[in-house]
Amino acid sequence: MRIGVDVGGTNTDAALMDGNRVVGWFKTPTTPDVTTGITKAVRTVLEETKVPSDEIKAVMIGTTHFTNAVVERKRLMETAAIRLGLPATECLPPMVDWPADLRDTIGHHKYLVHGGHEFDGREISPLDEKEIRDVAKDIKSKGIRAVAISAVFSPVNSSFEDRAAEIVQDEIPDVSISLSHEIGRMGILERENAAILNACLGDLAQAIVQSLRKALKEMKIDAPFYLSQNDGTLMSADYAEKYPVLTFTSGPTNSMRGAAFLSGVKDAMVVDLGGTTSDVGMLLRGFPREASVAVEISGVRTNFRMPDVYSFGLGGGSIVTEDPLKIGPQSVGYELTTKGLAFGGDVLTATDLAVAGGLVDIGDASAVKSLDARLVRQALDEIQSMVETAVDQMKTSAEPIPLILVGGGTILVSRQVEGTSEMVKPEHFPVANAIGAAIAQVGGETDRVFAMAELSRDDALAQAKQEASDKAISAGADEKTITIVDVEEVPLAYLPSNAVRIRVKAVGDLALS
Amino acid sequence: MRLLHPENVVDIALGAAVLGTGGGGDPYIGKLMGIQAIEEFGPVTLLSLDEIEDDALIVPTAMMGAPTVMVEKLPKGDEIIKAFHALESYLGRKITATMSAEAGGLNSVTPLTVAARLRIPMVDCDGMGRAFPELQMVTATLYGVSSTPFAIGDEKGNSAILNTVNNRWTETFSRSITIDMGCAAMIACYATTGKELKEWAVPDTMTLVESIGRTIREARESKANVVETVRKAVGGFEVFKGKIVDVQRRTEKGFAKGEAILDGVNQYDSQTLKLQFQNENLMAEVDGEIVVSVPDLITLLDTETGEPITTENLRYGFRVTVLGIPCNEKWRTPEGLELVGPRYFGYDIDWVPVEERFG
């Protein structure tokens, strides 16, 4: 059995699963320190299901600890960024486009040194060991214990980053180092940013992992635990301690993966109807389709991939206005149960319409009995139409596909949605996200540039697949179960020798001993 | 005459991406470089074409190389300075001003960084009115202006000056040198007098791209329909709206060639658009019929955000709107079409102006 937990903006959800069966679940408000909410969710789900704690073989947690720390500028370490690339890159030093307050929080310590590689593996300049050593000494003299090291084209050749790390470690024995090639992909500013964010979370990562470990132990759960990565795959607690930045933006993926699992469909549209907004995403082969845009974390540009989600202003608490008829985007949000008409309040909400239309039996039906029947019908039609428009935006072909509805606002949709082959409102839909965390596999991804003149296409692909697989294994995957789930090849413009950018994602089952 | 400040750079970089027609490099890096240069060296003076003296010497500057390299191996910043001074020695006179050779993409901002560093003005014009893959594809070629003496410099301090018999040769040699320099270099070329420039330049392009960028920014802030606002700002036509269902790519002679297939939505439901590109978007067919082709501009915008999408970023599932924008009149002449028309790119068809089909 396993327990999946997902920390959301409002609630922390936990689900206990026995294989593919949901045994029980629990939802509790997210706490400011995050850990208390997680602990309560896990403890309660165990108590309510009466499952003995020694039956739990793994715990998976999708957390916001680290995103929150960056957003709130709290518990971040003083960090030094070293970039190897001189004489190139000088015009845009590290953290050049960061919000000033975040930059100042971690100290804005930047060092540009010689090194880096060209796209084809030639050196830009030789590594200057003395230069790096001097930088390390300066960092040490300032008492800085977190260092991010980024080199130009390190996704092609990481040797300079590796050697620089050795030198820095030698000078500062208790330093924690983040290497850009282990964390990010092509695009130096975004990759360097990810490495710096990772470095400044070093102490917090250790503290959080320890406190979660302790909390589970206190509940007598003697099982390994995992944290969700941004693409919905998992990584072991040890791996997470080294790469906390990979936990960013894992939430949306967990929701969609949970929805897919609960419905049993790998290719489907998922609509998550919330209190104020609804999100529509596409599932392809079990994973959410990714968006094109760079993801900004609290004003810092990164190249993490996030699900391509279309958000629109419809939710259970959406305020309804007549003449002209409009549903939302204003909403009473979490105050629905006090402000909505059916709950004794004085605001006409989408939920009130659902109650009046007989779609759901909650609150006081008599409070909405006097609503004009035609208004209710028109408004429910409008809601249906909003969902249909959103679904149509996200579809990639005219073929009808299954639609999975999750989230509290599911009550608003009663009829078949046009363009869909079937509509599934799975049981346990309120905690699809926690289930998504629970069923996740362990993943690894590589994103590199290969010069095909030296390497045949088959060899380059094989190398990329091997790297992705190795990463998944270090993150905790069972070697025997590794599969490649995605391969993307992009020939690059203007580069000779048919340079190609190859991105591979590998996943495997948890290697549970 | 007006001054360009960092906030102008933001709008220029964004608007230039629309004219980039899928190519032109990464506007984000260009934007940051422009802002950094102005913050360090002061605002840049932008002169209109009629403010240029006939005997002034203007030299366009640009970045040359692979967009993928430029987002990794960022410039040092002063690559062109040495080359620029070498050019001045060679020509025996001081350079009055610089300008953009290619307004589509980050080369709208590159000359700004040169102008800031050298404290010379920039002229409000460019050589294409868009982006094109090859160096000779500027209106100057149509007027017999030579791209040489041509200067090229890298971050290590290397520089070279080329002289060629025609601009096509300049493309060939400079491409090789750029590759040896690591596929990222800065260039200065097409040295021209004010009198000549007034004949061959595409006028007012800096102001145009800035206004496109400002329009996008304001539309986003007021939650208006960004795509429609952009379309009006550029005088373009909506050619198609749909989702990308297939993308194929291959590299030929250093150029990224490929095609993308779009399934139509809304009024284009059941129609299919095929887009062909070679770094920039070249040709679009709907249900087998060619509807817009080079030299007219074909730009793909994200249907939700209005963000221009480069050909390297085209992926399965993206929801895009295809805009067709009429090209500058200089490209519509027989010489213009020979240089940048469909046949140069291997399509044996006659060009039909986009405004004829959609106007």
Token pair 């080199």 is found at A151
Helix, strand, coil abundance in chain A, percent, nearest 5 = 40, 30, 35
Strands (E) across chain B are located at 2-4, 44-47, 57-65, 97-100, 122-123, 125-126, 150-153, 159-162, 184-188, 192-193, 202-203, 237-252, 255-264, 272-278, 280-286, 289-293, 297-302, 319-325
Name the residue among A411, A427, A416 with its Cα closest to residue A361.
Answer: A411
Token pair 């294409």 is found at B128
Could you write out the DSSP letters of every residue in B58-105? EEEEEEEE-HHHHTTS---S-HHHHHHHHHHHHHTS---EEEES--SS
CATH of A264-426, one of 3.30.420, 3.40.50, 3.30.1490, 3.30.1480: 3.30.420
At residue A438's C-alpha, the angle toward residues A436 and A439, to 5°, is 70
* Confidence (pLDDT) at A498: 65
Q: Strands B97-100 and B57-65: what pairing?
A: parallel
| CB-CB contact of B62 with B144 (8 Å) | no
For residue range B289-304, what is the model confidence (pLDDT) as tens digits?
Answer: 999 999 999 999 999 8
Distances (CA, A) of A502 to A464, A487, A488: 7, 7, 6
State how far residue B229 is from chain A, nearest Cα, in angstroms. Answer: 20
* Confidence (pLDDT) at A494: 63
Mean pLDDT of chain B: 93
For residue range B156-206, what is the model confidence (pLDDT) as tens digits?
Answer: 999 999 999 999 999 999 999 998 999 899 999 999 999 999 999 999 999
Pick from B67, B72, B74: which is nearest to A91 by CB?
B74
How confident is residue B94, by pLDDT bands cut at 50, 70 and 90?
Answer: very high
Residue B41 burial by Cβ neighbours in a 10 Å radius (0-12, 13-18, 19+): middle
Q: Please name the residues between 31 and 50 in chain A that touch chain B, using a CB distance below 8 Å.
A: none
Q: Is A373 on the interface with B (CB under 8 A)?
A: no
Q: How far apart are CA B62 and CA B128, in angstroms?
A: 13
Q: Is A370 on the interface with B (CB under 8 A)?
A: no
Q: Residue A335: which H helix or E strand, with range? A: none
Chain A residue whose CA is closest to B133: A494
* Confidence (pLDDT) at A335: 80
| CB-CB contact of B309 with B318 (8 Å) | yes
* Confidence (pLDDT) at A248: 86
For residue range A173-184, what is the model confidence (pLDDT) as tens digits?
Answer: 999 999 999 988
Residue B348 burial by Cβ neighbours in a 10 Å radius (0-12, 13-18, 19+): exposed
Q: How far apart are CA A84 and CA A135, in angstroms?
A: 12
- Judge: A494–B256 Cβ closer than 8 Å, yes or no: yes
Q: How far apart are CA B87 and CA A271, in angstroms?
A: 61
- Judge: A292–B182 Cβ closer than 8 Å, yes or no: no
- Judge: B307–A301 Cβ closer than 8 Å, yes or no: no
How confident is residue A48, by pLDDT bands cut at 50, 70 and 90?
Answer: very high
- Judge: B68–A501 Cβ closer than 8 Å, yes or no: yes
Q: Residue A279: which H helix or E strand, with range? A: strand A278-284
* Confidence (pLDDT) at A8: 78
- Judge: A449–B317 Cβ closer than 8 Å, yes or no: no
Residue B244: HSE in the Cβ half-sphere, 13 Å Cα cutoff = 26
CB contacts, 8 Å: A393 with chain B: 265, 303, 319
Name the residue among A197, A163, A153 with its Cα closest to residue A178.
Answer: A197
How confident is residue A496, by pLDDT bands cut at 50, 70 and 90?
Answer: low
A392 token code pair: 């149509």
For residue range B21-38, what is the model confidence (pLDDT) as tens digits?
Answer: 999 888 889 899 999 999
* Confidence (pLDDT) at A493: 63
> Three-state secondary structure along A368-406?
HCCCCHHHHHHHHHHHHHHHHHHHHHHCCCCCCEEEEEE
Residue A458: HSE in the Cβ half-sphere, 13 Å Cα cutoff = 0
Mean pLDDT of chain A: 89
Whether A497 shows a pLDDT value over 70: the answer reads: no
Distances (CA, A) of A389 to A87, A274, A315, A325, B128: 52, 17, 15, 17, 40
How confident is residue B107, by pLDDT bands cut at 50, 70 and 90?
Answer: very high
Q: Please name the residues between 299 and 338 in chain A that touch chain B, using a CB distance below 8 Å.
A: 301, 308, 310
Q: Strands A499-508 and A300-302: what pairing?
A: unpaired
Q: Which of A8-22, A155-169, A306-320, B218-232 has the highest mean pLDDT?
A: A155-169
Pick from A87, A187, A493: which is nearest to B72 by CB?
A187
Break chain A into its structural domains and give their ranges. Answer: 77-197, 264-426, 441-508
Whether A52 shows a pLDDT value over 90: the answer reads: yes
| CB-CB contact of A23 with A47 (8 Å) | no
For residue range A302-360, what is the model confidence (pLDDT) as tens digits?
Answer: 988 778 888 888 888 899 998 889 998 888 877 888 899 999 999 999 999 999 998 88
A458 token code pair: 């088959």
Residue A457: HSE in the Cβ half-sphere, 13 Å Cα cutoff = 9
How confident is residue B309, by pLDDT bands cut at 50, 70 and 90?
Answer: very high
Whether A408 shows a pLDDT value over 80: the answer reads: no
* Confidence (pLDDT) at A180: 96
* Confidence (pLDDT) at B328: 96
Number of CB pairs < 8 Å for A and B? 155
State how far residue B195 is from chain A, nearest Cα, in angstroms. Answer: 34
Interface test mutation site (partner B, options A124, A284, A287, A292, max chain B beta carbons within 10 A): A292
State how far residue A499 is from chain B, nearest Cα, in angstroms. Answer: 8
Interface test mutation site (partner B, options A91, A112, A117, max chain B beta carbons within 10 A): A91
Whether B260 shows a pLDDT value over 80: the answer reads: yes
Helix, strand, coil abundance in chain B, percent, nearest 5 = 40, 30, 35
Token pair 């880096």 is found at A116
A488 CB-near residues (< 8 Å, 6+ apart):
A502, A503, A504
- Judge: A189–B74 Cβ closer than 8 Å, yes or no: yes
- Judge: B32–A500 Cβ closer than 8 Å, yes or no: no
For residue range A135-151, what is the model confidence (pLDDT) as tens digits?
Answer: 999 999 999 999 999 99
Would you tell me how many other CB atoms lie within 10 Å of the CB of residue B251? 21
A459 CB-near residues (< 8 Å, 6+ apart):
none
Chain A residue whose CA is closest to B243: A396
Q: How far apart are CA B292 and CA B328, in angstroms?
A: 15
Could you write out the DSSP letters of every residue in A167-236? HHHHH-TT-EEEEHHHH--S-HHHHHHHHHHHHHTHHHHHHHHHHHHHHHHHTT--S-EEEE-TTS-EEE
Residue B64: HSE in the Cβ half-sphere, 13 Å Cα cutoff = 31
Q: Please name the residues between 423 and 452 in chain A that touch chain B, using a CB distance below 8 Å.
A: 449
Return the exposure string of A47-68: e unless at least 16 CB atoms fall within 10 Å of the residue's CB, then b.
eebebeeeebebbbbbbbbbbb
Query: If you average pLDDT over residues A480-489, what whole number do you get?
Result: 89
How confident is residue A119, by pLDDT bands cut at 50, 70 and 90?
Answer: confident
Whether A393 shows a pLDDT value over 80: the answer reads: no
Residue A481 burial by Cβ neighbours in a 10 Å radius (0-12, 13-18, 19+): middle
Chain A residue whose CA is closest to B249: A491
Q: How far apart are CA B66 and CA B106, in angstroms?
A: 12
B227 token code pair: 């795509």
Torsion of CA B208, B213, B214, B217, to 10 degrees: 160
What's chain B's Rg over C-alpha atoms?
Answer: 19
State how far residue A462 is from chain B, nearest Cα, in angstroms. Answer: 19
CB contacts, 8 Å: A85 with chain B: 73-74
Q: Is the bond preceding residue B43 a cis peptide, omega within 30 degrees?
A: no
Q: How far apart are CA A97 and CA A480, in angstroms?
A: 43
State how far residue A487 is from chain B, nearest Cα, in angstroms. Answer: 13
Q: How far apart are CA B89 and CA B161, in angstroms?
A: 11
Query: If you average pLDDT over residues A111-132, what whole number do you get?
Result: 94
Whether B142 shows a pLDDT value over 70: the answer reads: yes
B5 token code pair: 């400040």
Distance in angstroms between the alpha carbons of the first and the last residue of chain A: 14
- Judge: B182–A124 Cβ closer than 8 Å, yes or no: yes
- Judge: B182–A85 Cβ closer than 8 Å, yes or no: no
> Three-state secondary structure along A3-32?
EEEEECCCEEEEEEEECCEEEEEEEEECCC
- Judge: B66–A122 Cβ closer than 8 Å, yes or no: no
Name the residue among A14, A50, A59, A25 with its Cα closest to residue A217.
Answer: A59
**Residue A33, SS3?**
coil
| CB-CB contact of A497 with A451 (8 Å) | yes
CB contacts, 8 Å: B75 with chain A: 88-91
Q: How far apart are CA A453 and CA A497, in angstroms?
A: 5
- Ordered structural domains, chain B, with CATH: 2-205 (3.40.1610.10), 226-358 (2.40.390.10)
Name the residue among A422, A511, A498 with its Cα closest to residue A455.
Answer: A498
Pick from A493, A496, A498: which is nearest to B179 by CB?
A496
Interface test mutation site (partner A, options B14, B74, B311, max chain A beta carbons within 10 A): B74
Distances (CA, A) of A458 to A450, A462, A495, B258: 11, 6, 19, 21
Token pair 């095609």 is found at B259
Quote the percentage of chain B above a pLDDT of 90.
77
Token pair 């933001």 is found at B10
Q: How far apart are CA B225 and CA B237, in angstroms?
A: 15
Predicted ipTM of the assembly: 0.89
- Judge: B245–A397 Cβ closer than 8 Å, yes or no: yes
| CB-CB contact of B210 with B126 (8 Å) | no
Q: Please name the residues between 226 and 255 in chain A that touch chain B, using a CB distance below 8 Å.
A: none
CATH class of A77-197: alpha beta
Name the residue among B81, B120, B80 with its Cα closest to residue B99.
Answer: B120
For residue range A279-293, what is the model confidence (pLDDT) as tens digits?
Answer: 899 888 778 887 766
Distance in angstroms between the alpha carbons of the first and the last residue of chain B: 34
- Judge: B315–A189 Cβ closer than 8 Å, yes or no: no
CATH class of A441-508: alpha beta
| CB-CB contact of B19 with B60 (8 Å) | no
Could you write out the DSSP letters of every residue in B164-208? -SSHHHHHHHHHHHHHHTTSEEEEE---EEHHHHHHH-EETHHHH
Residue B292: HSE in the Cβ half-sphere, 13 Å Cα cutoff = 28
